[in-house]
Amino acid sequence: MLPNRTLLLLACAGVLLTGCTAAGGHTAVEDRSRTASTAPGGQDQGPAGSSGRAGRSAPEPQAVRPAEIPGLGPRTRAAVPAEALQAVVVTGKEPDSNRATAVLYEREPGEGWRPVAGPWHGHNALKGWTDDHRQGDLRSPVGVFGLTDAGGRLPDPGTKLPYDRGPAFSISGRGFEGEPLAGSFDHVVAVNYNRRPGTTPLDWTRPLGAGKGGGIWIHVDHGGPTQGCVSLPRGRMKELLRWLDPAERPVVVMGDAAALAR
């Protein structure tokens, strides 16, 4: 028989060779590995302590609302036809102001409205704006109106709108500030307020009656207030005419800032 000291040494050597098996049948090395891959509460973690994120579904993308035209309130936005993809937004600072700015917008499906030109400075009627335009009130009508017809004394600068050219667009005399009016109607776009769309701007048919006025145009600026129209610098009028496309169902959104914000 071996001495007791020899038996003790052999037993310890056997323990070292088996990795010091812990309770439950796992080695100490296995236990350290399990500890590193197990979260508190017994939930397995992913590699490098990822806390199981690999097993979670990704957050759903947030819906992006199409961009709106700045400054327009719910009532004005609702008046813009869904099929309109071009908008000329003409804004006056105050209800009684006769100076205005115009910005051109295009609508991209799914993305909304984006500005493409402007602001351009021009004029509106002498006494400002009104929600209830009347013949001779020297105010421009507030609202959203189609733009379907153009014309002028000078040749068509390249618009896609129907363009009526003729000497009847001539004008003379002086404006409210003494400025000459000659050339104001060299290029015009008819605003579909109390008129029959699809006709020359010179058509004086008034569906709402003569008392509600008419003959509202966007025309060449003569340097002062108008009777009721909107006016833009000559170069901008040509740019506007070349941009307008009847296939895009263009509209003008016009009024003072407070009215358009409603």
pLDDT recorded at residue 59:
62
What are the domain boundaries of the chain? 85-260
Residue 192 has pLDDT above 90, yes or no: yes
pLDDT recorded at residue 109:
87
Among the listed residues 147, 145, 144, 142, the one whose alpha carbon sits nearest the alpha carbon of residue 255: 142
Specify whether the CB–CB gap between 185 and 169 falls below 8 A.
Answer: yes
Q: Give per-residue burial for 11-25: e unless 16+ CB within 10 Å, then b.
A: eeeeeeeeeeeeeee
CATH fold of 85-260, please?
A: L,D-transpeptidase catalytic domain-like (2.40.440)
Please write the tens of the pLDDT for every residue from 203-232: 999 999 999 999 999 999 999 999 999 999
Residue 176 has pLDDT above 50, yes or no: yes
Specify whether the CB–CB gap between 230 and 90 falls below 8 A.
Answer: yes
Give the pLDDT mean for 121-148. Answer: 98
Q: Which residue has the tokens 């400002």?
A: 128
Residue 6 neighbours by CB under 8 Å, 6+ apart: none
- Split at pLDDT 50, 70, 90, the class of 9 is very low
pLDDT recorded at residue 21:
33
List, in sequence order, every beta strand (DSSP E) within 109-250: 112-123, 129-130, 140-141, 143-146, 149-152, 163-165, 188-190, 217-220, 230-232
pLDDT recorded at residue 119:
97
Q: What percent of the chain has pLDDT over 70?
A: 76
pLDDT recorded at residue 197:
98
- Split at pLDDT 50, 70, 90, the class of 64 is low
Specify whether the CB–CB gap between 70 and 233 falls below 8 A.
Answer: no
Residue 115 has pLDDT above 60, yes or no: yes
pLDDT recorded at residue 202:
98
Please write the tens of the pLDDT for every residue from 22-54: 333 333 333 333 333 333 333 333 334 444 445
Report if pTM > 0.85: no
Residue 87 has pLDDT above 80, yes or no: yes
